[in-house]
Structure 1
Amino acid sequence: MSSWAGYAWLQKHFDIPVTQKMPIRSQIGRDRKTSFQNGVYHETYRPNSKPDDTPSAHLAFALKHEGIHLELLSHVFERYQKQALTDWVASEPTGQYTRKAGFLYEWLTGDILTVPEMSGNYHNLLNPHEVVAAETPIKNSRWRINDNLPGTPHFCPIIRRTELLDIASNYDSNARLKNMEDDFGAELMSRSAVWLTIRESRASFAIEHEGDQKSKIHRFALAMGRYCGQIDAPLSSESLTELQNSILGTSTIRPGLRQSPVFVGSGTQEMGSYVHYVAPDANEVKPMLEGLQAFMAKTQHESPIVRAAVASFGFVFIHPMADGNGRISRFLINDSLRRDSAVPEPLLLPISSTINKSTGSRNNYDKILEAYSRPMMAKTTNDIRFGDRTTYPDGVVSDFKFSGNDTLRPAWRYPDLTEQSEYLFHVIHETIEYEMRHQIESHQSYINARDKVKDTLEGPNEHIDRIMRSVERNDGQISNKLEKEFPMLKDPETSESIKNVINAYVAGRPLRRNYDPDMEVETLRESIDDGPGLR
């Protein structure tokens, strides 16, 4: 009969409410074998590898064979008797895994163990070949550990190195955009920067179900053009407040970092609220943002796509503002890519347009958010209630009450953003090779058609655009209303020529190609060694 080992044993022994998947689950069985299912490696070890049935033995096994799972370890150290941990660490002062355990206990809890002086060679806390780690480790002489955690105790995201993220690390978005410029010309690419920015703004508001508010869309487009890659510290409270005001306007009800509880939910006044996600306690917001800033500072030469994913999803899961979190999180994708020189100025990737292009694409975005939030809510359903109204320091009055902070705090602080990074890689690749190409091809086709109309009928672009839109909407015919507005269209020869051009344009308009993630990965895998520009 199989029995759990390592983290799985610790989870069961301490009855830990872990919300994020354990990427490795170990058990003891008859034969040594490995299987991979639903993103989890299942490792079976022979009986002679079975640890003693003690927390210290299984903790050492986990640190040796399964890496570091900060959420689970945080819960473990809350339940582990401090004296028992102290005795174990003191009994093996040269042991690599006792020293790692001692360091992690102090780092996660802020408490100090009374142990003798440690000795032995320095070891990296994280294996940088397995997870994203700080590029310059800090030597911790107390534990003789190279601290290469990429964040802080208040916020330290973990990103596992997967095959797809290895492909992402070789992905040269700049070269792909240069190829696009070679295909369409520098002038059209330069002109496209403006309307791609507006398209990104419109789609970002549509994701928030605010797609028809033209003044806000225009304001967000201006903010992206002004701030993207330009703010010294985009995740500071001052910069975020300035950005929020630029996107939402100075009339936003609660500017700046929130000082009140917040949840993401849906519902109606009659039916009540359904809670999809509870954000961290307001007291956690500022130190968590500082942890996110630390990650960005410690990983400056990492994959730009991974860094953009951490900036965006890390921000939206912290949910530091009362309003505008979703739009700012998607702004941070382009901001991070611009800072890492992955997307040249003045281009902006219409990420939101890709996310919102179809019901299926929007569902995929919701699913990647729910991959993090849904397990958390499943563990804390009974901790959510609506009661007496409370006025908070920022003036917010709320009846929302949440008693699950202790359960979710480790998941809030130590999110595994591997799946979100993989998701964003696909979105960026689809945006560049499919969405942008389609939009530029469509724009080029339209410009060519407009120029042909102007061969027959001279006039300012806005008038020609008006004529083309009207003919297209009127099934290829010129309406009486349009003739009254532009009397020259009454001429049969003129009107026939214009109709032919517009109908040919509509019939030959470029079609959007479907994006197949599996096929794209296979193509990228095959071309990864073909040199710059093809990667």
Structure 2
Amino acid sequence: MRLGERAREVLGRTHPDVVRRAAAFLLLEDSQASFQIEGENPTPDRRLRWGQAIGEAGQRDLAIDELVRLQELVIGDSRFVELGLRTEGGWIGDRDRGTRDPIPEHISACPDDLADLMRGAVEYGRRTEQTAVDPVVSAAVLSFGFVYIHPFEDGNGRLHRWLIHHVLARAGYNPPHVVFPVSVPMLRRISEYREVLRSYSSQVLPLVEWHATRRHNVEVLNETVDFYRFFDATAHAEFLYGCVEETVMRDLPREVAYLEGYDEFSRRVQEEVADMPDQTIDLLSRFLRQSDGTLSKRARTQEFKELSRDEVERVEELYANCFPPEAPETAGYLAGESSR
């Protein structure tokens, strides 16, 4: 599908300033979506810091120490979390309301196996940089393999998605300084994402012998290390490819088109209607976007009461020209977008 080349083609015909602004927004959007997948609503500062970490993916060699550093960064307040490789069992699922014992959907690798498994994961990531394997396939294998191992007490999901960025960046798959916000289509396709994760966990779970500990954790009783060394990643690679395709074919062009339309709208409002400050034009654009291109009665009588009736009509006409309606298939893909 040549998705990496297609992304470079889109950005190659775009003004560098627009590319820079699009890259900054997509980075924050990916950070926010990654937290939302985990059911978290981070502070702006925490979201920004994790966005910066995503933007730096691929700049350092993959190593366990680097993943631990990122774990501390993504968690923020680590007073109540054991950083580094787990020393106890790990699982995902629900708890019995009476006993608080685990009802697992997934049981993670045994703590005694983590050091060896993570050495293997790091080595796999390094070796794929020297092969001709498609980077999206390599990213799927490494990132989903990591999340099945679940080596940390907390932060595994966001680091799992960070590894996708790391592999793609090391392979030069995405354009320079531009991150594919793969967490955004993952969030839109959250049910499919969860089914892909369960596709392997559900096969492994019946093979794991375990019992609940006094601390309401799990203790694995049999040898399970090979379940986390080898897995069929076909469904995972197909899913990730679909997310990358959405990013390249829809999200990236859409963000570029939005910024180009915004710049044109801003210029023409100042030239043809009124000489407004940038922040006022931004507010005007937001009101129009919220009301499908029509300035609401509230905006006309409060924030923009100084505009005449003719000026309001001209502003709405300019908005319609600069921001044409999206094609139905594009709108369908973006139905779950977060508000700008």
TM-score by length of 2: 0.84
Pairwise CA distance, 1:377: 1.7
Q: 1:193 to 1:473 in 2, by over 3 A?
A: closer
Query: For residue 254 of structure 2, what is the aligned residue in structure 1?
Result: 438
Question: Is this contact kept in 1: 2:4–2:173, CA < 8 A?
Answer: yes
2:283 matches 1:466: yes
Change (3 A) 1:474 1:321: same
1:266–1:441 CA distance, 2 compared to 1 (3 A) = farther
Structure 1 residue 259: deviation in Å?
Answer: 1.5
Equivalent position SS for 1:265: strand
Write the deviation string for residues 451-471 of structure 1: whole angstroms up to 9, x where unpaired: 333332333333212222224
Contact 1:351 1:428 in 2 (8 A): yes
Could you report, residue by residue, the CA deviation over 1:109-141 in whole angstroms, capped at 9, with x for unpaired residues?
xxxxxxxxxxxxxxxxxxxxxxxxxxxxxxxxx
Q: How far, CA to CA, are the matches of 2:277 and 2:194 in structure 1?
A: 43
What's 2:214 paired with?
A: 388
What is the aligned partner in structure 2 of residue 325 from structure 1? Answer: 156
Aligned to 1:346: 177
Letter in 2 for 1:285: L
* Structure ranking higher in strand proportion: 1
The offset of 1:410, in angstroms, is: 2.1
Shift of the 182–341 alpha-carbon distance from structure 1 to 2, 3 Å rule, reads: closer
Preserved CA contact (<8 Å) 1:229 1:335: yes
Pick from 240, 245, 248: which aligns with 1:424? Answer: 240
Q: CA deviation at 1:202?
A: 1.3
Query: Which of these two proteins has the greater Rg computed from alpha carbons?
Result: 1
SS of the counterpart of 1:488?
coil
Q: Could you tell me whether the CA contact under 8 Å between 2:182 and 2:247 is conserved in 1? A: yes
Matching residue within 117, 121, 138 for 1:288: 117
Query: Structure 1 residues 512 and 339 mapped into 2: Cα distance closer, same or farther (>3 Å)?
Result: same
Given candidates 457, 477, 482, the residue that maps to 2:295 is: 477
Give the Å deviation of 1:439: 3.0
Task: Identify if the C-alpha distance between structure 1 residues 261 and 287 changes in structure 2 by more than 3 Å, giving closer, same or farther.
Answer: same
Residue 127 of structure 2 corresponds to residue 298 of structure 1? yes
Q: Deviations over 1:127-159 (max 9, x none)?
A: xxxxxxxxxxxxxxxxxxxxxxxxxxxxxxxxx
For structure 1, the 5+ residue unaligned runs are: 1-170, 390-398, 516-535
Among 188, 192, 210, which residue is 2:40 paired with? 210
List aligned pairs for 1:401-412, cutoff 5 A.
401-406=218-223, 408-412=224-228
2-side partners of 1:270 and 1:467: how far apart? 54
Asked whether 1:277 is paired with 2:106, we answer: yes
Question: What is the rounded CA distance, in whole Å, between the counterparts of 1:219 and 1:242 in structure 2?
Answer: 13
Structure richer in helix, relative to its length: 2
Query: How far apart are 1:250 and its partner, in Å?
Result: 4.7
Instruction: Give SS of 2:152's match.
Output: coil
Question: Residue type matched to 1:488 in 2?
Answer: E
Residue 70 of structure 2, aligned match among 220, 226, 243: 243
Instruction: Rate the CA distance shift 1:306–1:481 in 2: closer, same or farther, 3 A.
Output: closer
What does 1:362-381 align with in structure 2 at a 5 Å threshold? 362-380=190-208
> For residues 243-262 of structure 1, what are the structure 2 equivalents within 5 Å?
243-251=70-78, 253-254=80-81, 255-262=83-90
Q: Could you tell me how far 1:222 is from its partner in structure 2? A: 1.8
After superposition, give the CA deviation of every residue in 1:58-116 in whole Å (9 maximum; x if it has no partner).
xxxxxxxxxxxxxxxxxxxxxxxxxxxxxxxxxxxxxxxxxxxxxxxxxxxxxxxxxxx
**What SS does the corresponding residue of 2:190 show, helix, strand or coil?**
helix
Alignment match, 2:274: 457
User: CA–CA distance in 2 between the matches of 1:240 and 1:493?
Assistant: 58
Q: Describe the shift of the 1:268–1:494 C-alpha distance in structure 2 as closer, same or farther (beyond 3 A).
A: farther
- What is the aligned partner in structure 1 of residue 336 from structure 2? none
Query: Residues 506 and 188 (structure 1 numbering): CA distance in 2 closer, same or farther, change over 3 Å?
Result: closer
8 A Cα contact 1:280 1:405, kept in partner: no
Normalised to the residue count of structure 1, the TM-score between the two structures is 0.55
Cα 1:344–1:496 change in 2 (3 A) is: closer
2:27 matched to 1:197? yes
Residues 223-234 of structure 1 mapped to structure 2, 5 A cutoff: 223-225=53-55, 227-232=56-61, 234=62
Deviation readout 1:364-390 (Å, 9 max, x if unpaired): 21111111101112334xx4543412x
How far 1:505 moved relative to its partner?
Answer: 5.5
Indicate how the Cα distance of structure 1 residues 192 and 481 shifts in structure 2: closer, same or farther if over 3 A, else same: closer
CA 1:342–1:188 in 2, change beyond 3 Å: closer, same or farther?
A: same
Kept after mapping to 2: 8 A contact 1:281/1:405:
no
In structure 2, how many angstroms separate the alpha carbons of the residues matched to 1:405 and 1:213? 42
- Equivalent in 166, 190, 195 of residue 335 of structure 1: 166
What is the correspondence of 1:494-513 to structure 2 with a 5 Å cutoff?
A: 494-502=311-319, 508-509=325-326, 511-513=328-330
Quick one: which amino acid aligns to residue 192 of structure 1? A
Secondary structure of residue in 1 paired with 2:106: strand
Change (3 A) 1:209 1:457: farther
Name the aligned partner's letter for residue 256 of structure 1. G
- The answer to whether the 8 Å contact 1:438/1:511 transfers is no
Q: Structure 2: how far apart are the matches of 1:367 and 1:293?
A: 26
2:306 aligns to what SS in structure 1?
A: helix
Aligned residues: 326
In structure 2, distance between residues paired with 1:507 and 1:425:
29
Deviation readout 1:163-195 (Å, 9 max, x if unpaired): xxxxxxxx5444222211244444422321111
Among 250, 261, 264, which residue is 1:448 paired with? 264
- Superposed, 1:482-493 pairs within 5 Å as 483-489=301-307, 491-493=308-310
- Which consecutive unaligned segments of at least 5 residues does structure 2 have? 334-340
Cα shift at 1:486: 4.5
Structure 1 residues 191 and 507, CA, compared in 2 at 3 Å: closer, same or farther?
Answer: closer
Spell out, residue by residue over 1:322-348, the C-alpha distance to the aligned partner (whole angstroms, 9 max, x if none).
111111111111111111111232110
CA contact (8 A) 2:213 2:219 kept: no
